[in-house]
Amino acid sequence: MAAPHAAGVAALIVSQQNLRLGPLAALLNRTADQQPCPSSLPVGYDFFKCPNGDPQNCEGGPSYNSWYGHGQVNALTAVTTTGP
């Protein structure tokens, strides 16, 4: 569900600022709320396994990791920040 939210925020930004794709993506990444790796698997995630059968692991730091990417889109911050 991250893609529809990011696309909606991107549309709001483009309606206010005429940004090209590169600066628009940079603005979304810069204004996202950082999400660190979870300390334990969220409910239901034990069902998803790697191809070799091992449980999934989150790798990376709070600014970018394998579960949350650059973080959670923050619509208010993204729309009110002038880019790029």
pLDDT digit string, tens, across residues 9-68: 999 999 988 888 899 999 999 999 999 998 887 777 777 777 888 877 889 998 999 889
Facing residues of 44 across strands?
none
Residue 42 has a pLDDT of 74
How far is it, in rounded angstroms, from Cα 32 to Cα 24? 12
Q: Number of H helices and number of E strands within the chain? A: 3, 0
Q: Are residues 31 and 81 in contact, defined by beta-carbon separation less than 8 angstroms? A: yes
* Residue linked to tokens 């034990």: 46
